[in-house]
């Protein structure tokens, strides 16, 4: 009897399910839109995540190649992006695309650009019903024959997804914001720090803003106010006034319920393009708030334009070398600002090394990170301690150490060779790299702590090296990353532009 009752119940359940399915199917066929909405409401909302970055320098001759990009795909992108947990904890399905980030270089060639852009677009096409998209850009990628790489990609994404899809971005504080950005993205959160120490926090701010918009059903309005100045990037430090106070104001503004983000973008002067300038960008619940706050911030930023100065010694190359040799401090760092690889320069200049070699100093000196693949290859088979003759300097040297160089993502990307010219060591690299922390020296098999003077291919000294510097000297050298705006030959920027032009302005 028990078995029979179970059998009868199962038959009734099956019949009920069958007739219910027929009813729903019939209704759905008559009203497909209602059915789709019903099904959609029962699914988890979806967010696509990606990152595509290369800070461009239109004066640099080296175009980034595929091997220059640190690349991850699928779930591996979250080795670099920190937003997955916050999205999942909020109840969203996270769809990873790619993470492709390169050391700053020259303009990006079209084939390289489309290689990565198409991967992101393919993910978007496969998930065209996404409710939100999060992308970590730099904001200053210049693509040959296209212009802004960020803007082009956003335009293509908007052709695929619905207008209801909310797009939230993280960008570098040195982004060159295009006026059209507000037509394709809803939210942008820029770094609040220069030097940059808040990349992770800026990702999370953009992620939380996206969640807020999706939960509330609001469509944030972005207002962009261009500020017509371009200043020496290395004078614009957020730990110093007047930027310190302005950044604090943006943080206070973001505590208001109606304001998603308030941003100061300082511009990237090494791209010759119409969108090259500073700007303020505010994302708010309504246009009136976004516009008034952005204009107010812009006027305050403009008012500070004549205040910025180097906070450290900034001298000609010759004077910088002289000061370093005369200095009494335990360790002096000299930054070769015109050949700054973190700003896209090649890192090939030997000007400072040659000046040290001519000085006959007895100080222990290291010139680190000179890009010279031919020299590395020529002497790589020589043993440590072996003597060689370096034609380009007309001098004998001793092979001191064979080492490695680190890429932008701190991964090993190539070989380094250290040659000793008596008390002066020079570290040559087979690829462009940046010595930004002690580990770079360790991987190159040179002892940072043994030197009295250290020269690196940077602008301002990175935070990781500051504990080792008793004094910093900023060498105003020529090159692709020269900081003297008047010497950059900018022709495509919108004029007037301070300090190239003297004029009054108000937002």
What's the Cα-to-Cα distance from 86 to each of 101, 128, 201, 283, rounded to whole Å? 22, 22, 12, 21
- Mean pLDDT, the chain, integer: 92
- pLDDT range class, residue 8, cuts 50, 70, 90: very low
User: Which of 433, 425, 367, 369 lies closest to 400 in space, CA to CA?
Assistant: 425
The pLDDT of residue 33 is above 50: no
Contact in structure between 333 and 461 (CB atoms under 8 Å): yes
Enumerate the β-bridge partners of residue 334: 455, 473
Domain shared by 293 and 324, yes or no = no
Residue 489 lies in a domain: no
Mean pLDDT score, 393-422: 94
Residue of 131 and 18 predicted with greater confidence:
131
Residue 18 lies in a domain: no
Mean pLDDT score, 494-503: 97
User: Nearest 5 degrees, angle CA 473-CA 301-CA 271?
Assistant: 60
Q: How many residues does the chain have?
A: 507
Domain shared by 276 and 324, yes or no = no
**Residue entry with tokens 């570098």:** 172
Distance between CA atoms of 168 and 139, rounded to whole angstroms?
Answer: 13
Helix (H, G, I), strand (E, B), or coil: what is residue 259?
Answer: strand
User: Which of 308, 315, 328 lies closest to 471 in space, CA to CA?
Assistant: 328
Q: Quote the domain boundaries for residue 440.
A: 313-484
Domain shared by 290 and 329, yes or no = no
The pLDDT of residue 182 is above 80: yes
pLDDT digits (tens, 9 = 90+) for 294-319: 999 999 999 999 999 998 999 999 99
DSSP 366: E
Contact in structure between 436 and 465 (CB atoms under 8 Å): yes
What's the Cα-to-Cα distance from 114 to each of 100, 150, 171, rounded to whole Å? 12, 12, 20
Domain shared by 117 and 261, yes or no = yes
Residue 25 lies in a domain: no
Q: Which stretch of DSSP H or E encloses residue 425? A: strand 424-429
- Chain-centroid distance of CA 3 in Å reads 68
Q: What is the DSSP string of 349-382?
A: --HHHHHHHHTT--S-EEEEEEE-HHHHHHHTTS
Distance between CA atoms of 417 and 376, rounded to whole angstroms?
Answer: 6
Domain shared by 296 and 440, yes or no = no
Domain shared by 357 and 296, yes or no = no
Q: Which stretch of DSSP H or E encloses residue 253? A: helix 243-253
**Residue entry with tokens 């973008």:** 265
Helix (H, G, I), strand (E, B), or coil: what is residue 281?
Answer: strand
The radius of gyration of the chain's CA atoms, rounded to the nearest angstrom, is 27
**Sign of torsion, CA 428 432 433 435?**
positive
Contact in structure between 68 and 152 (CB atoms under 8 Å): no
The pLDDT of residue 206 is above 70: yes
User: Which of 162, 34, 347 lies closest to 26 in space, CA to CA?
Assistant: 34
Sequence-distant (6+) residues with CB within 8 A of 104 are: 54, 55, 56, 57, 341, 342, 343, 344
Residue 8 lies in a domain: no
Distance between CA atoms of 2 and 44, rounded to whole angstroms?
Answer: 41
Domain shared by 374 and 298, yes or no = no
Token pair for residue 283?
Answer: 């994302």
Mean pLDDT score, 18-33: 40
Residue 343 lies in a domain: yes
Distance between CA atoms of 370 and 107, rounded to whole angstroms?
Answer: 21
Residue 272 lies in a domain: yes
Q: Please tell me the total count of domains within the chain.
A: 2
- pLDDT range class, residue 409, cuts 50, 70, 90: confident
Domain shared by 51 and 99, yes or no = yes
Residue 493 lies in a domain: no
Q: Which stretch of DSSP H or E encloses residue 294? A: helix 287-303
The pLDDT of residue 31 is above 60: no
pLDDT digits (tens, 9 = 90+) for 357-381: 999 899 999 999 999 999 999 999 9
Give me the pLDDT at residue 233, please. Answer: 85
How many beta carbons lie within 10 A of that of residue 360, not counting itself? 8
Domain shared by 295 and 330, yes or no = no
Distance between CA atoms of 29 and 19, rounded to whole angstroms?
Answer: 15
What's this model's pTM, rounded to 2 decimal places?
A: 0.88
Which of 303, 332, 351 is the C-terminal boundary of a domain? 303
Domain shared by 324 and 291, yes or no = no
Residue 501 lies in a domain: no
Domain shared by 449 and 405, yes or no = yes
Q: Which stretch of DSSP H or E encloses residue 288? A: helix 287-303
User: Which of 399, 365, 362 lies closest to 380 in space, CA to CA?
Assistant: 399
User: Nearest 5 degrees, angle CA 157-CA 162-CA 165?
Assistant: 80
**Sign of torsion, CA 12 18 24 27?**
negative
Mean pLDDT score, 238-244: 95
Give me the pLDDT at residue 15, please. Answer: 38
Sequence-distant (6+) residues with CB within 8 A of 24 are: 35
User: Which of 190, 186, 188, 254 lies closest to 217 in space, CA to CA?
Assistant: 186
pLDDT digits (tens, 9 = 90+) for 124-158: 999 999 999 999 999 999 999 999 999 999 999 99
Give me the pLDDT at residue 351, please. Answer: 98
Q: What is the DSSP string of 110-177?
A: HHHHHHHHHHHHHHHHHTTT-SEEEEEE-S--EETTTEEHHHHHHHHHHTTS-TTSEEEEEE-TT---
DSSP 105: B
Domain shared by 279 and 330, yes or no = no
The pLDDT of residue 58 is above 50: yes
Sequence-distant (6+) residues with CB within 8 A of 8 are: none
Distance between CA atoms of 352 and 336, rounded to whole angstroms?
Answer: 8
The pLDDT of residue 501 is above 90: yes
């Amino acid at each position: 009897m028990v078995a029979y009752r179970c059998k009868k119940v199962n038959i009734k359940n099956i019949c009920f399910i069958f007739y219910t399915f027929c009813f729903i199917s019939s209704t759905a066929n008559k009203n497909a839109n209602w059915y789709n909405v019903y099904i959609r409401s029962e699914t988890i909302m979806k967010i696509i995540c990606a990152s595509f970055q290369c800070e461009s320098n239109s004066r640099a001759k080296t175009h980034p190649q595929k091997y220059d990009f640190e690349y991850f795909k699928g779930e591996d992108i979250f080795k670099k992006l920190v937003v997955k947990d916050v999205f999942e904890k909020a109840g969203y399905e996270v769809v990873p695309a790619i993470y492709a980030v390169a050391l700053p270089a020259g303009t990006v060639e079209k084939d390289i650009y489309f290689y990565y852009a198409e991967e992101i677009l393919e993910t978007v096409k496969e998930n065209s019903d996404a409710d939100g998209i999060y992308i970590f850009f730099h904001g200053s990628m210049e693509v040959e024959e296209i212009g802004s790489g960020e803007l082009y990609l956003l335009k293509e994404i908007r052709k695929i997804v619905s207008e209801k899809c909310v797009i939230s971005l993280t960008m570098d504080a040195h982004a060159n914001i295009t006026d059209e950005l507000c037509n394709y993205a809803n939210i942008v959160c820029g770094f609040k720090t220069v030097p940059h120490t808040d990349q992770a926090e800026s990702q999370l701010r953009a992620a939380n803003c996206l969640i807020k918009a999706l939960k509330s059903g609001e469509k944030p309005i972005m207002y962009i106010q261009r500020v017509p100045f371009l200043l020496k990037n290395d004078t614009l430090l957020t730990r110093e006034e007047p930027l310190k106070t302005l950044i604090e104001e943006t943080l206070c503004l973001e505590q208001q319920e109606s304001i998603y983000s308030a941003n100061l973008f300082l511009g990237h002067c090494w791209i010759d393009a119409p969108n090259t300038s500073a700007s303020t960008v505010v994302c708010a619940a309504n246009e009136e708030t976004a516009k008034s706050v952005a204009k107010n911030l812009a006027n305050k930023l403009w008012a500070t334009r004549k205040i910025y100065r180097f906070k450290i010694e900034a001298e000609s190359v010759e004077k910088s070398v002289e000061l370093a040799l005369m200095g009494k401090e335990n360790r002096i760092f000299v930054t070769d600002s015109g050949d700054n690889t973190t700003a896209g320069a090649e890192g090939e200049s030997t000007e400072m090394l040659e000046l040290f070699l001519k000085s006959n100093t007895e100080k222990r000196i290291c010139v680190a990170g000179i890009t010279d693949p031919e020299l590395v290859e020529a002497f790589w088979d020589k043993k440590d301690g072996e003597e060689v003759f370096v034609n380009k300097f007309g001098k004998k040297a001793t092979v001191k150490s064979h080492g490695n160089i680190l890429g932008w993502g701190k991964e090993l990307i190539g070989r380094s060779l250290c040659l000793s010219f008596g008390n002066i060591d020079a570290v040559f690299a087979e690829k462009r790299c940046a010595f930004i922390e002690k580990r770079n020296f360790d991987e190159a098999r040179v002892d940072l702590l043994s030197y009295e003077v250290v020269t690196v291919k940077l602008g301002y000294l990175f935070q990781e090296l500051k504990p080792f510097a008793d004094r910093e000297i900023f060498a105003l050298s020529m090159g692709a990353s020269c900081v003297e705006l008047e010497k950059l030959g900018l022709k495509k920027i919108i004029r007037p532009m301070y300090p190239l032009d003297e004029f009054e302005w108000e937002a």
